């Protein structure tokens, strides 16, 4: 809250459609899985792709020896006509893309779509030329159309076809291609045409956001960080903490993080040390990990209030957590990768999480038959569709001081009483007590 000393300091209310965008970049990503036994780095070095190794290659963001390869831009086919119509472009733009891989059978292609009014950049790069600056509504409709199944299918096919051609592969060598959901990024770099704004000024970010209020907020909701290609949890936890801290308006050393117990296996030990080394308060259960009390801290039912949960969680528990989050904090969510059960069992003394991704052959078969992809990042929306949770009942199987509920207690008549909560949409919570006979 700001205290204003003069009425003249009060900004004018935002005016709809005042913001005009004369130049921006929209980046969409596609994942490609090559046929079994393929190794893309071999095709990369043997084909026509050229590798870049400067700051654009993300080499500074991964561990040395990670195997990261990042190509220079190459063809990605033509711009679909529907996308050109949305932004009023009569220019038949050719698209470009870059390929990124950490080795093996998986490749990600990034397609940067540059939109700009005529100027120096339209003469130097593959650009979707605009006849006039965009309104925020038009830009968001353009971004939304990228996720349309028909448009996504066209772009995915073009991306795969040109990737195969550039890498010297047969088209059949790419077994599957799909849009990486939630990875569309937007960067605005020219606001010429906006009312009461000096032409030629670059967008000044947060400093200037107040002038455009909800319009800038709506646009920034589409922004994403660098694409995460799935490094080990220990390698990625520090940047993840930094991003979480930024999102909640804190510093990493003021975060409260809940994680997995180390009572049964020490594999979370290194992860815990790294998080505590950042200064974060890390809550480590003495025995087993029970997620609901931590999640209910988000609405003040338990203490301390967590900012995030990081660690290994069972898939069934994750489904329940997704449903609970949908009821109490629908604006929040989580992301996860599938993990092995057999791997940690085979190496019980590891102090890192590497074994989580050592899948057995039986696990690989079971995942494929169930339609899961072990290398794809998932979110809570993949488990519970937002807005579909109706109620959640939680009962204490042991005393839980954090929530103030008792575990099962028999009375003199042999009836066992257990306490818990009934949670409904909108974070409506009621305490319940159940009795049963053994």
CA gap 267, 271 in Å, rounded: 8
Task: List, for residues 109-140, the tens digit of each pLDDT value.
Answer: 999 998 888 877 666 667 888 888 888 888 88
Same domain, 215 and 240: no
Of the candidates 220, 248, 279, which is a domain's last residue? 220
For residue 373, being part of any structural domain is answered with: yes
Under the phi-then-psi rule, with left for phi > 0, alpha for psi from -120 to 50, and beta for the rest, what region is 122? alpha
Same domain, 205 and 339: no
For residue 377, being part of any structural domain is answered with: yes
Same domain, 251 and 339: yes
> Which pLDDT belongs to residue 231?
57
CA dist 327 to 300, 309, 357, Å? Answer: 14, 18, 31
Cis peptide preceding 179, ω within 30 of 0: no
For residue 2, being part of any structural domain is answered with: no
Angle at 294 between CA 288 and CA 297, to 5 degrees: 155
Same domain, 129 and 274: no
Q: Which of 353, 357, 356 is nearest to 270 (CA)?
A: 353
217 band by pLDDT with thresholds 50, 70 and 90? very low
Q: Which of 280, 174, 214 is nearest to 14 (CA)?
A: 214
Same domain, 329 and 397: no
Residue carrying structure tokens 């003249």: 8
For residue 216, being part of any structural domain is answered with: yes
Task: List, for residues 396-421, the tens digit of each pLDDT value.
Answer: 888 888 788 888 998 888 899 999 89
Mean pLDDT, to the nearest integer, of 308-320? 88
Same domain, 411 and 303: no
Under the phi-then-psi rule, with left for phi > 0, alpha for psi from -120 to 50, and beta for the rest, what region is 391? beta
Same domain, 356 and 426: no
Return the biggest CA–CA distance within the chain: 87
Of the candidates 382, 402, 418, which is a domain's last residue? 382
Question: Is residue 429 a contact partner of residue 420, using CB atoms and an 8 Å limit?
Answer: no
For residue 15, being part of any structural domain is answered with: no
- Most confident residue range from 10-19, 93-102, 244-253: 93-102
> Which pLDDT belongs to residue 303?
84
pLDDT(157) > 90: yes
Residue carrying structure tokens 């220079």: 72
CA gap 392, 291 in Å, rounded: 14
| DSSP H or E stretch at residue 109 | strand 106-116
For residue 410, being part of any structural domain is answered with: yes
Mean pLDDT, the chain, integer = 80
pLDDT(183) > 60: yes
Same domain, 189 and 316: no
Task: List, for residues 250-266, the tens digit of each pLDDT value.
Answer: 888 999 999 988 877 88
Name the residue range of residue 180's domain: 23-220
For residue 225, being part of any structural domain is answered with: no
Picking from 173-182, 189-198, 240-249, which range would have the lowest pLDDT averaged per residue? 189-198
> Which pLDDT belongs to residue 102?
77
Instruction: State what percent of residues in the chain have pLDDT above 90.
Output: 14
The token pair that represents 414 in the structure block = 């042999």
Same domain, 205 and 250: no
Tell me how crowded residue 353 is: count the other CB atoms within 10 A of its CB.
22
Same domain, 300 and 174: no
Which CATH number belongs to the domain containing residue 361 in this structure? 3.40.190.90
Of the candidates 341, 357, 382, which is a domain's last residue? 382
Residues 6+ apart with CB under 8 A from 384: 319, 322, 323, 325, 326
> Which pLDDT belongs to residue 153?
92
Same domain, 376 and 396: no
Same domain, 349 and 427: no
Task: State the distance between the two ends of the chain, measured CA to CA, in whole angstroms.
Answer: 57
Q: Which of 121, 134, 106 is nearest to 43 (CA)?
A: 106
For residue 12, being part of any structural domain is answered with: no
Domains in the chain, number: 3
Picking from 145-149, 196-200, 278-282, 366-370, which range would have the lowest pLDDT averaged per residue? 196-200
């Amino acid at each position: 809250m700001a205290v204003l000393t003069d009425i003249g300091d009060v900004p004018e209310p935002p005016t709809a459609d005042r913001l005009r965008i004369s130049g921006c970049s929209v980046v969409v990503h596609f994942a490609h899985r090559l046929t079994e036994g393929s190794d893309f780095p071999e095709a990369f070095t043997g084909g026509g792709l050229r590798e870049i190794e400067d700051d654009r290659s993300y080499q500074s963001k991964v561990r040395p020896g990670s195997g990261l390869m990042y190509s220079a831009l190459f063809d990605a086919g033509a711009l679909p006509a529907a996308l050109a119509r949305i932004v009023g472009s009569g220019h038949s733009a050719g698209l470009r893309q870059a390929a990124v891989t950490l080795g093996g059978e998986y490749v990600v292609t990034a397609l940067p779509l540059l939109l700009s009014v005529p100027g120096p950049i339209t003469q130097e790069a593959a650009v979707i030329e605009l006849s006039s600056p965009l309104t925020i509504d038009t830009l968001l409709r353009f971004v939304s159309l990228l996720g349309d199944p028909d448009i996504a299918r066209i772009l995915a096919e073009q991306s795969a076809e040109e990737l195969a051609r550039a890498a010297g592969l047969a088209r059949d060598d790419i077994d599957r291609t799909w849009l990486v959901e939630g990875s569309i990024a937007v960067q605005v770099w020219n606001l010429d045409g906006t009312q009461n704004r000096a032409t030629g000024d670059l967008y000044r970010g947060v400093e200037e956001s107040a002038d455009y209020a909800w319009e800038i907020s709506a646009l920034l909701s589409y922004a994403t960080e660098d694409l995460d290609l799935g490094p080990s949890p220990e390698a990625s936890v520090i940047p993840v903490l930094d991003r979480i801290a930024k999102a909640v308006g804190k510093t990493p050393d003021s975060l409260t993080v809940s994680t997995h117990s180390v009572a049964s296996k020490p594999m979370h030990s290194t992860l815990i040390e790294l998080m505590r080394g950042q200064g974060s308060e890390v809550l480590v259960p003495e025995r087993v990990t029970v997620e609901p009390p931590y999640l209910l801290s988000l609405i003040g039912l338990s203490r301390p209030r967590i900012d995030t949960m990081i660690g290994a969680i069972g898939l069934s528990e994750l489904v329940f957590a997704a449903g609970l989050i949908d009821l109490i904090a629908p604006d929040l969510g989580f992301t996860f990768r599938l993990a092995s059960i057999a791997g940690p069992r085979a190496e019980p003394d590891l102090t890192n999480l590497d074994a989580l991704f050592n899948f057995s052959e039986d696990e690989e078969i079971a995942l494929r038959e169930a339609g899961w992809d072990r290398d794809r990042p998932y979110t809570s929306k993949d488990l519970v569709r937002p807005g579909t949770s109706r109620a959640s009942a939680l009962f204490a199987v042991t005393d839980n001081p954090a929530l103030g509920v008792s575990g099962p207690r028999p009375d003199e008549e042999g009836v066992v009483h257990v306490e818990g909560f009934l949670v409904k949409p909108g974070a409506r919570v009621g305490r319940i007590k159940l009795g049963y006979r053994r």
